[in-house]
Amino acid sequence: MKIFDHLFPPKHLGLRPYRAPSPVGFWRIAGALVLVALCGGIYWWQLLAQQRNQLAFAENQAHLRTVQMSTTMASHVGTLVAGLEYLARSLAMNREAEPDHYFPVAVRTALATFPNGSLRHICVANASGQVVFSSLDQDPKTQDAPISIADREHFQGHAERTQPALSISRPSLGRLSGKWSVQFSYPVMRGGQFDGVVVLSVAPEYLSGHFSDVSTSGNDVTLLVRDDGAYLARSDRQEEVLSLSVPPDIEFLRHPDRMQGEFQAKSPIDGVERLYAWQRLREYPLVVSVGLDHDKALATTKSSIAQSRLWNAAGTLLAVLAALWIALLFMHQRRIQARLEQHQQRYQLALEGGNLGTWEWTTNTDHLHVDERWHTLMGSSPSDGPPSLDSLRARAHPQDWPAWKAALDAHVRGDSDVFEAESRISHPDGTWRWIHVRGRIIERAPADQPQQISGTCTDVTQRYAAEAAREELQLRLSKLVQQVPGTVFQYRLKPDGSSHFPYSSSGILGIYGLSPEEAAMDAAHVFARMHPEDRDRVKGSIGDSARTLTTWHAEWRQIRQDGEARWLEGSGNPQREADGSTLWHGYIHDVTEQHAATQALRRSEERLRLTVAAVQDGLWEWDTTSHRVTPDARCHEMLGYHGQPSPLSFCAWRRLVHPDDRGTLLAVLQQQIALYQPFNQEVRLRTADGQWRWVEIRGQATPSPAGTVSLVIGTQTDISQRRADTLLHHAVLDNAAAALLVTSADNTIELGNRRAEEFFSVDGLPLKGRSMRMICREDAAFSDFCQSVEEVRRTGTVHVEHQLPTTSKGLRWFSIRGTLLDPEQPAGNLIWTLVDTTERREGVEALSTARTHLLEIIRHFPAGVLVQDSEGAPVVVNQALCDLFEVPLRAADVMGYSRAELAMLVPPEARSVLPPDSPLHDDAVASTHEVALGDGRTVQIQFIPILTPHGDQLGRLWLAKDVTERRRHEQTLERLASTDTLTGLANRRAFMERLEPECARQASGGPGGMVLMLDLDHFKRVNDTWGHATGDVVLVHLARMLKGNLLRSHDLAGRLGGEEFAVLLPGTTAQEATAIGERLRHALEQSRIHAGDGTILQVTMSIGAAPLHADAHATLAQADAALYEAKNTGRNKVVLVQPAEAAPEKTP
């Protein structure tokens, strides 16, 4: 068998070094694939951005439609409620004037005027709440039991209110009608005193019937609710909500100060998610809300986007697959050419580098063909003859051979793809070595033909030894932790403030009353049971330790479940984790008795201070004859005991020694005392509170006159701090982020921390005693290291960067810094600090790539972009900016222009907002400007400061885009929102927006003004006689008069609702306002209105005039009062409010 010699000849046979194929072809393929991926990524980025914009635009349009619908419906509902208020107020006035004659006629007229069923009934209650009139057939006066509404909300509100006003109740079942209705009530006043109420019972169906024009689709809905959230009407499922209220967290209930708004929510009534817009009526405690089905509003857009993504994904996939197929074909051809040349050397190097022996066995023979490394690993010699299965079985461990032979036979039978086994093999020196053998059939022959098996073997004894040592160490640590009083713990504090114990020993049950599993879930129970006076202090110490990464130590009181307070002491060392959490390793124990002893010790400390200040060591003596050990007060104090010390028996003193130290100490005492030589030993002694303290015991045996040892005298020194410092030193080294090495003059590693072992220890064992060849494996790397050693010894320091192989991460870049351990000894040991800088290098490369991508995105950004550096100089200008301002240059040609040069290229209107040609200072405030260009376009220019996380400026970013169409759209919406759709005059909202600042200006000492309130006389007769269409013609005719030349240019006319109009006359006296009102009244009286089909109408109007007050609503109230005076005194006249009439107070 010479298969391995044929396939893998040794180096001395003239093996040529392997020449890697040229990377040019590979990089061409990679470049082409990267280009394809980049193009695809840019295309998909633009596609997804466009689709997101499309979806956002559709949702914005749905929001806008909802707002417009809610505004229109609020205006419509306001007009409807105003009509009901006018009816209720008119009936109340009729009730006051002629309760028995004209009032019933007015009620019948009102019922006939409104649609059938819209008014359930009209009733009147007296001052005590008893119903004295009802429009239903039964007469309340003839009822056996009088009907009372004194307990109703709307009646009680009027009885308590001093000023008459309309009241709107929750829906209720009428006591007369027996049907659901909404009560619109108005008080009846006699002589200024409350004398009852007029109640209009309005059917909810009448209110919701006006919503049909808005809620046309299946899941759209319109709501009318009171300010307290009670439903009054709903376009859908009205019967289910009449006794309900909207959820208390809805926006207009949480913000009663807002007049309008919008939100998105799922309805608790039908479970449909909608886009809602709501409008609060200014004059009435009502809210109108319109909701559009969210899914239906966006369904068309989402369907279009999904179909577009599907087709684009299919096209992209086909392009990527085609590119990959071409690349694979090209790479496969090159790989075949390189594989034959590479294959021979690769396996030879693998065998040598892995210290693998090779073997071959033909199943019809007993002999094995092996190489020299086989003999070395098996402890045999080529002179012993060719090895056989019988000789191998004789040297294999009896417990291992059956499994080894069974695995080999199974592979021969074809039951396994690979033969693999591990066994102990005896060496001539009597030791057992673990050998790992692996092989497989080279080419399987028919069942009756012999099989040829080839394989390798390697020595894995060190791995087994390391695993056994690790298991033994873990077992010892587990047993040791269980014996320690208190609990050993790991405590993790997360960035969000939550915490838990990832690990805790079983003693935590006695400390906190929690099992280790419960503590691992959450540590909140620990702090909840902590004494209130100690909780903030302990939390603060934990926070300080986490912030500074210093050792945590604290004492506090913990309240047990039985109410007992126990003193606990804890300490731990923190370390920062990758996710920002802080992890402590530490120990907590019960120090209640120690705390009490400490308090007593403090009281006697002052008396003992002068005595013990000069003596740091304790004295002791051991009488070997009586077996008594007598410590002094200092020894007693060192172990935490108080009071005068008393002699101990040697057995009792021996029990104070830690079990792990007891045997060594007794052996040293026995040996040194027998030789009459001094001795010293470091041991742990048990303290009064059951803890262990490190002390150093030194002593000397004193011979007796008879020549025997009778007395041993010595000292005892507390070395706890020194031991703690040593442990801390090792902890610092082991927890350092960098690998630390100390090397000797012959480049042997004297010390390596845990990080260095993780990086470079192939077998996981300590690096001490090994050559630096283990880290610098290549000859060139080791030569560079030797040069660095010479540089350190010559100059005292060196700093280089090299790639080094690691055990788990392959080749990594390291920043290596070497210094002399002792500057006074240049030929002494050296200390090396190795910091992994691979991620930093990769980050620098990624940053360069990201900058290239960012510049490409800016060049293709759909808006104009200008970027300045910290000195104000332009860094990036894209072509979109040049096109937007019609700059006759390419973007690349603009780079380097100063502000003055750049200003000459843009339109004059944009120059005032261009960035200054000066270094940046403190103008780190974002701003947005809109510039109207001379060609009619509107350009929005946005300034964004570029800041560091600390607030320092890196530059400025200027974005410019054409917003002409958006501004036109917004202006159209503003005009529609402020205009009455029928007459083209300002609607109530727009009129109030103009009236309120005029009133405020008058209140602050500005020029006065007047308000005219106009109402058509007998307008209801027009609607009843000729229909509502003719009534609309009359309203439009009056609006044209108001928009004509009868008013001044700065006057404002508006329609407040129904046939009520108002005119604002700024800077006008009462006399001038009366003259203007007369001019309007006369013009309408003399006009002829053509209503179609030959009908010509003449109408008149009544006008009330009032001066401006600080309160706009009070001003309208006074004008309304003057209007009603004109109505009640004959109509077709102008009445000026009398100065003696006080404006009604506005109640909140």
Count of CB atoms situated within 10 Å of the CB of 29: 16
Q: State the Cα–Cα distance between residues 892 and 894, nearest whole angstrom.
A: 6
pTM for the whole thing?
Answer: 0.33
Q: Around Cβ 1037, how many Cβ atoms within 10 Å?
A: 18
Write down which residue in 429, 459, 489 finishes a domain.
459
Establish if 17 belongs to a structural domain: no
- Residue 757, pLDDT score: 81
Q: Is residue 190 domain-shared with residue 259, that is, in the same domain? A: yes
Any idea of the CA torsion for 684, 688, 690, 693, to the nearest 10 degrees? -20
Q: According to the per-residue pLDDT averaged within each range, which of 53-67, 174-188, 222-236, 387-401 is highest?
A: 222-236
Q: What are residue 905's phi and psi, to 5 degrees?
A: -95, -20
Longest dimension (CA), the chain: 156
pLDDT in tens, 963-1007: 778 778 777 777 777 788 888 888 888 899 888 998 988 888 888
The answer, yes or no, to whether residue 287 has pLDDT greater than 90, is: yes
Rg, the chain, Cα only: 49
What the block records as the tokens of 308 is 């577009």
Please state, rounded to an integer, the average pLDDT across all residues of the chain: 82
Whether 698 and 832 share a structural domain:
no
Eight-class DSSP state of 445: P
Q: Which of 106-115, 578-587, 676-685, 700-709 has the highest mean pLDDT?
A: 578-587
Whichever domain contains 1036, its CATH number is 3.30.70.270
Q: Could you give the CA distance from residue 999 to residue 1117 in angstroms, rounded to a whole number? A: 14
Question: pLDDT by residue (tens digit) across 1012-1050?
Answer: 999 999 988 888 888 888 888 999 998 898 888 778 888
Residues 616, 706, single domain; the answer is yes
Average pLDDT rounded to a whole number, residues 573-596: 89
> Does 763 share its domain with 798?
yes
Tell me what pLDDT residue 49 has.
Answer: 86
C-alpha 367/C-alpha 1085 separation (Å) is: 133
Q: Look up the domain containing 1126 and give its range.
A: 978-1136
In a domain, 523, yes or no: yes
- In-domain check, residue 1146: no
pLDDT band (50, 70, 90) for residue 294: confident
Residues 580 and 620 in one domain: no
Is residue 796 included in any domain, yes or no? yes
Domain edge (last residue) among 704, 724, 744: 724
Rounding to the nearest 10 degrees, give the CA dihedral for residues 669, 671, 676, 681. -40
pLDDT tens figures, 396-424: 888 888 888 888 888 888 888 888 888 88
* Tally of structural domains, the chain: 7
Domain assignment present for 921: yes
- What is the C-alpha to C-alpha distance for residues 186 and 81, in angstroms, rounded to an integer? 13
Residue 12's pLDDT is what? 39
Which pLDDT belongs to residue 1016? 93
Q: Is the residue at 329 inside a domain?
A: no
205: pLDDT confidence band, cut at 50, 70 and 90? confident
Instruction: Show the tokens assigned to 88.
Output: 């209720």
Rounded distance, CA 1035 to CA 777, Å? Answer: 100
Same domain for 511 and 551? yes
Which pLDDT score, from 0 to 100, does residue 1071 have? Answer: 92
Backbone angles phi, psi at 94, to 5 degrees: -65, -35
Residues 605, 745: one domain? no
Q: What is the pLDDT of residues 525-578, one digit of tens each?
A: 888 889 999 999 999 999 999 999 999 999 999 888 888 888 999 999 999 998
pLDDT of residue 251: 87
Strand (E) or helix (H) holding 964: helix 964-977
The pLDDT score that the predictor gives to residue 447 is 66
**CA–centroid distance for 830 within its chain:** 48
Residue 535 placed within a domain: yes
Q: Does pLDDT of 103 surpass 80? A: yes
Whether residue 535 contacts residue 511, with contact meaning beta carbons closer than 8 Å, is answered with no
Q: For residue 354, is pLDDT > 70?
A: no
Q: What is the pLDDT of residue 292?
A: 85
My answer on whether 720 and 745 are in the same domain is: no
Residue 185 and residue 153 share a domain = yes
My answer on whether 553 and 613 are in the same domain is: no
Q: What is the mean pLDDT of residues 272-285?
A: 88
Q: Are 680 and 745 found together in one domain? A: no
Give the model confidence (pLDDT) of 739-770 as tens digits. 888 898 888 988 888 888 888 888 878 888 88
Q: Which two tokens stand for residue 874?
A: 């332009």
Decide if 349 is inside a domain: no
Please, which residues have CB within 8 angstroms of residue 528's CB and are 6 or more apart in sequence? none
Strand (E) or helix (H) holding 631:
strand 628-631
Q: Per-residue confidence at 388, pLDDT binned at 50, 70, 90?
A: confident
Inform me whether the pLDDT recorded for 10 exceeds 50.
Answer: no
Sheet strand arrangement including 679-686: 648-649, 628-631, 618-623, 709-718, 692-703, 679-686
Q: Among 724, 745, 763, give the residue marking a domain's end.
A: 724
Query: Average pLDDT in the 600-615 region?
Result: 53
Active-site residue list: 1059
CA 908, CA 911: separation in Å to the nearest integer? 5
Is the pLDDT at 215 greater than 90? The verdict is no
Q: pLDDT band for position 176 (50/70/90)?
A: low
Residue 967 confidence (pLDDT): 78
**pLDDT-above-70 percentage for the chain:** 89
How confident is the model at residue 1014, as a pLDDT? Answer: 94
Give the C-alpha distances (Å, rounded to integers) separating 520 from 481, 524, 560, 573.
17, 11, 19, 19
The first and second tokens of residue 1118, run together, are: 């006074």
Q: What confidence tier does 492 reach under pLDDT thresholds 50, 70, 90?
A: very high
Judgement on whether residues 90 and 221 belong to the same structural domain of the protein: yes
Q: What is the CATH number of the domain that holds 663?
A: 3.30.450.20
